[in-house]
Amino acid sequence: MASATEHAPSTTRQGPKLPVLEREKLILNGRSYHWITERICSVLENRQPMLWWLLFIPSALIAMVGVGLSLTYLVSTGVGVWGMSNRTFWGWDITNFVFWIGIGHAGTLISAVLFLTRQNWRTSINRAAEAMTIFAVMCAGIFPAFHVGRVWMAWFLAPIPNANAIWQNFKSPLLWDVFAVSTYFTISLIFWYLGMVPDLATIRDRCKPGLRKMLYGIFSLGWRGGNRQWSHYEMAYLLLAALSTPLVLSVHSVVSFDFATSVVPGWHTTIFPPYFVAGAIFGGFAMVLTIMVPARQLYGLHDLITMKHIDNMAKIILLTGTIVGYAYLMELFVAYYSGALYEMEAFRIRITGPYWWAYVAMMSCNVLSPQLFWWKACRENLWVVMAVAMCVNVGMWFERFVIIVGTLGRMFLPGDWKTYSPSWVEISLFIGTIGMFLALFLLFLRFLPCINIAEVKWTLLESDPHHDDKHDHPDHGAEAVAAYQHELHSKGAAEAKA
């Protein structure tokens, strides 16, 4: 890597020049506005590659069979078809609910928090991360809705006056979940749609007259790109980003209250809210890498989603993975230091009990595998990045399984101890939600711009009205040093060999 220390300062009549390391380019090979528009629009305007069909058709079939048939059988028979017992009353359903909610967390962080902190590298991945958030929350909502048993009575969760004089228990964290998740979904959906309006107008103007042009015209809300429209758009986007930022902390904190507000050993701890938030960001970024690295290869988006983006996401996974690992160890320390016998026994059973294999999988996938990202060579190897991301996805599911099933299976009374095993309905429903998530994301790639065309263009030098000032007013006291750029370096080496 080129660094400022590797270049000795050159001297001039005015004195020595200080080497200044240039920023890495977020768009490679000097691409123009026109090329960016053509490249992103070609993803949804051209025929989809065969691999898209090979992924979409099985995903759609798995979703229809896994979700459709499983829920039909569940509603017609009863919740008893799940493998739950009187003791383990939360099984795979709530495990999967927390898992999917956590996956959707990275979308808000990338869209809102990184936008407010002016991190320009977010522009190539924020649209896909926001879509991932919407689809993950849709998958998550299935489980608590059908967990109530009589799904047609789920509307009683809303504080709506009714003839039965039934009122919700606002002291219950389960009801807090309803408000937190519904608010999160609503704000994320509006944020996602608002950011697409200029791009939908671009696609509308490129379409031939017909149904496709009419639909894009309706959803682009008459966008013409005028100065007043851009001014209002940027203000609305900024306000939504500020409104969404508290959701990054609140949503998964509220989800953690489902456990932390109880008196169950292993759950009744104040570390759960920050622990769950860090874990959600951790798992969310892993899923962004899981879906965007293949999409980058499939559609040839290497100049838009560069190794700089992948490197930054890998570093965030390393950071949040280290925080999660610290939380795991701190849980063990607090249980030991408290001297509470039930708390100590709960964690001993987690490690050595019947679900010890789940605890080992959680620690290996969530704590050990991200440590590979300390080495730059691992962050630049896409096979290693994908392997670590998949490990994190698996590990975060096992984390929820250990917390929920591993705790409820061994409670206060040994006579109530049960070994939980999921039924075929739970397994098929979870696999069906995976197919549903993939199918929805593939449809998103097919019909909507997967990269924010307008915001990506803002990262080009041409978008800065002062980018030519250095030619008119050069700084004689500085000497620009080329930034390290992985793609350009490898391409130059290949051309040199040729």
pLDDT, tens digit, 9 for 90 and up, residues 345-359: 888 888 888 888 999
What gap in Å lies between CA 434 and CA 428, rounded to an integer? 10
Specify the pLDDT at position 111: 80
Q: Is 495 exposed, middle or buried (0-12, 13-18, 19+ CB in 10 A)?
A: exposed
DSSP string, 145-189: HHHTS-GGGGGGGS----TT-----TT-HHHHHHHHHHHHHHHHH
Closest C-alpha among 326, 157, 182, 191 to residue 251: 182
Q: Which two tokens stand for residue 107?
A: 């979308």
Give the pLDDT confidence of 240-255 residue by residue, as tens digits.
888 888 887 888 888 8
Inter-residue contact 248 to 113 (CB < 8 Å): yes
Give the other-Cβ count within 10 Å of 335's Cβ: 21
Give the other-Cβ count within 10 Å of 384's Cβ: 17
Give the other-Cβ count within 10 Å of 282's Cβ: 28
Q: What percent of the chain has pLDDT over 90?
A: 26
Give the three-state DSSP class for 439.
helix
Specify the pLDDT at position 6: 46
Average pLDDT over residues 388-402: 92
Q: Which two tokens stand for residue 349?
A: 């059973």
Give the pLDDT confidence of 432-481 residue by residue, as tens digits.
999 999 999 999 999 999 898 888 888 887 777 766 655 555 556 556 66
Beta-sheet pairing, 18-21 with 478-481: parallel
Give the three-state DSSP class for 375.
coil
What gap in Å lies between CA 423 and CA 78, rounded to an integer? 13
Instruction: Give Cβ neighbours of residue 264 (< 8 Å, ≥ 6 apart).
Output: 407, 408, 411
Average pLDDT over residues 475-495: 55
